Amino acid sequence: GYRTILGADEINALTLQGVCDKIVTLNDSRVMSPAVTLLEQELSGSILETSDAPAKHGRKRKADLRAAITYTAPEQQRYHTQMLDWTAESAASLIHGHGVKPSEIVILAPLLSDSLRYALVSRLEARDIATYSLRPSRPLHDEPAARALLTLAKLAHPQWAFSPVYAIRKADIAAALVSVMDGLDLTRASLLVDILFKSGRLHPFSKLQNETLRARITGDFGARYDRLLAWLEAYQAGKPLPIDLFFSKLAGEMLSQPGFRFHHGYDEARIVNSLIDSARNFRETTARFAPELDSGYEYLKMIDDGVLTNQYPPVEIDEQPNAVLVAPAYTFLLGNRPVDYQFWVSVDHPAWGRRPLQPLSNPYILSKQWPPGRVWTDADEQAVSQQILNRAITGLLRRCRKQIYFGYSQFNESGYEQIGELRLAVDDVLRRHANAETSGMAHG
């Protein structure tokens, strides 16, 4: 376990082995190379400030630590964007220069914000590297691909007649077009919508007479827009489908075709599948308790109200497309999947060892191991942070076969300097390793 919640008592849980007929202890890793194993020992020793690290008391090394470590080039360590450039360049070198499969590379961060994800994915895609990401704490409605389908569903069902609170806005349509049409930028999408969205409905690009505007939007984007509009009009001419079947039909017949983003987007496909599951579950539930309701209309309205977040666990983590995974570190840990190469982005961020803020339900105080009446202090917080960081780093290293890429920069994405516990531990390992090499050369 990497997190302690609700007063879980792991110490008492271990007493169960006393009533077991057979106890099997597995000490040897079948994943880590000798170099990664050595890195695990040294990093753990630095984090916990113990003397277990081989270099601290002179045990002979059976592996070269350098084989397990690559770190940001000195000229790319100053700014956060330089570190991201180095990450993308290093991944491209592994894939295009050394023949490494993209599925054997993961890029991990303690926290994966929208801006960080976009910065990484855009850099990788610019180098012709396929990617996908997993963020289980993020509701589907916050995903651009899901919002695009919800907007297109409103356009395809004018009979729902949403009130002004839920009405379609031009900005929503422009964002939807950007999300579904490959290569379309927001400027062209906004211009297209401003011209062709009138009286609550879209009009064909082919009927636009202004040659200057046609040239600004371009014929290619206009043709794809007309294809999408023709599909929506053909759907409106038939019998309405349940909302989940509408999403499936739209994604399969139109948005997964060449020229649209779902044609090659692993992330978009995962999000659409989750959205379809969410809509299907909602429809089946309402059919049991209120069969007279239009489930599609109610589904979209409840999402707009924030009542239904359509948040589902990422079961797709077991499915491994041939693409680089970009994910929070704990999401990757819970997937229990080994890879050849791991990139740890922003190793100087303090969130690597930070526990969730739980002032009213501190799991350590709620545990049976906590002495009654004892006050939680800063020293306890520091000790727990070290344990959390050590568990996370040990878990990551035990899921790495060959090499760790440490990405760090002097300034973070907000422009401030920060040095977290992981950065200090990595620096300590590198310093001791350099001193050991210098000492060995002197004796030689």
pLDDT tens by residue, 132-143: 888 776 777 778
Listed range (95-104, 138-147, 310-319, 368-377) with the worst mean pLDDT: 310-319
**pLDDT of amino acid 149:** 93
How far, in Å, are 72, 248, 281, 402, 409 from residue 432 at the CA level? 18, 57, 56, 21, 21
**pLDDT of amino acid 60:** 46
**pLDDT of amino acid 54:** 52
- Average the pLDDT over 31-52 and give the result: 84
**Who has greater pLDDT, 132 or 403?**
403
pTM confidence score: 0.76
> How sure is the predictor about 96, in pLDDT bands with cuts at 50, 70 and 90?
very high
- Average the pLDDT over 243-267 and give the result: 88
Residue extents of the structural domains in the chain = 10-136+332-443, 140-312
Helix (H, G, I), strand (E, B) or coil at 275: helix
- Average the pLDDT over 49-73 and give the result: 65
Helix (H, G, I), strand (E, B) or coil at 400: strand
- 163: buried, middle or exposed (CB in 10 Å: 19+, 13-18, 0-12)? exposed
Mean pLDDT, the chain, rounded, equals 85
185-209: pLDDT as tens digits: 999 999 999 999 988 889 999 988 8
**pLDDT of amino acid 58:** 44
**Who has greater pLDDT, 186 or 437?**
186
- Average the pLDDT over 41-48 and give the result: 89
- Average the pLDDT over 118-141 and give the result: 86
Alpha helices in 256-294 (DSSP H): 266-289
Residue 56 has pLDDT above 70, yes or no: no
**pLDDT of amino acid 191:** 94
**Who has greater pLDDT, 11 or 42?**
42
Query: From start to end of 76-152, where are the E strands?
Result: 105-109, 131-133
Residue 306 has pLDDT above 80, yes or no: no
- Average the pLDDT over 332-337 and give the result: 88
Domain range 10-136+332-443, its CATH number among 3.40.50.300, 3.40.50.1860, 1.25.10.10, 3.40.1350.10? 3.40.50.300
**pLDDT of amino acid 148:** 93
Q: Give 342's strand partners.
A: 106, 404
Do β-strands 131-133 and 197-198 pair in parallel, antiparallel, or remain unpaired? unpaired
How far, in Å, are 143, 152, 278, 332 from residue 299 at the CA level? 17, 14, 9, 31
- Average the pLDDT over 224-245 and give the result: 94
Above pLDDT 90, what percent of the chain?
40
**pLDDT of amino acid 361:** 76
Q: Which helix (H) or strand (E) holds 202?
A: strand 201-202
Helix (H, G, I), strand (E, B) or coil at 328: strand
- Average the pLDDT over 365-388 and give the result: 87
**pLDDT of amino acid 25:** 83
> How sure is the predictor about 55, in pLDDT bands with cuts at 50, 70 and 90?
very low
How far apart are alpha carbons 12 and 363 in whole angstroms? 15
CB 396 within 8 A of CB 329: yes
- 107: buried, middle or exposed (CB in 10 Å: 19+, 13-18, 0-12)? buried
**pLDDT of amino acid 3:** 64
- Average the pLDDT over 327-331 and give the result: 91
3-7: Cβ within 8 A, 24+ apart: 3/330, 3/355, 3/356, 3/388, 4/355, 4/363, 4/364, 4/367, 5/363, 6/361, 6/363, 6/366, 7/363, 7/365, 7/366, 7/367, 7/368
